[in-house]
Structure 1
């Protein structure tokens, strides 16, 4: 029932998951598991656009899919959360009159150095074991 209760709007990203119990509005098996963009909403179906790779070129395909075979995609949740936090940081900086530092994601970089103590740590010599033929 929740499949029918979800609302889809233009520019929503959706995952195509075919429900084999319902044959109407079922996309081809090639599109199962693909992510597309909703460009139109009809009373009983959605218009989804996605790219299909044929040879070395990308062809834009338009699918008319019933909503039973579609679910909202979670592929850009991290982006949306990051965008909202960055907007809040920018608003705070404007209110305080400060300059905004770089809001891009930064790599963690190398780990901090540390010293391994020899207390309760006996060194182990590593090396190759000789090959022994049993036969």
Structure 2
């Protein structure tokens, strides 16, 4: 049986509860919901990339990418992304940033679902991912 391994990239703040930023088992890597916190040094409190959706979406996608890379994957390996937004009015702007960030993909883009949710104060977007490695 393949062992399940936690993935915690450098620069990510400790999770606020008992969960991993990512979990790899065999050729599957699940990235937990990431938000727009900037990289931190150990022991520092997380700080948002900024108050705007654009800033937070860019940093959130960078954080997803960091977890993927720490787990031995890349954006090319992602088969599913889930985007959680706090406001339906943010959909078009988030898509602009999303498309810019993923513009260099060579293979088919991941499937995606967008859901509207409540997030902790100040957070506008959260994204998780599922990757399958060759």
TM over 0.5: no
| TM-score between the two structures when normalised by the length of structure 1 | 0.20
Larger relative contact order (Cα-Cα within 8 Å, sequence gap ≥ 6): 2
Which structure has the greater CA radius of gyration?
1
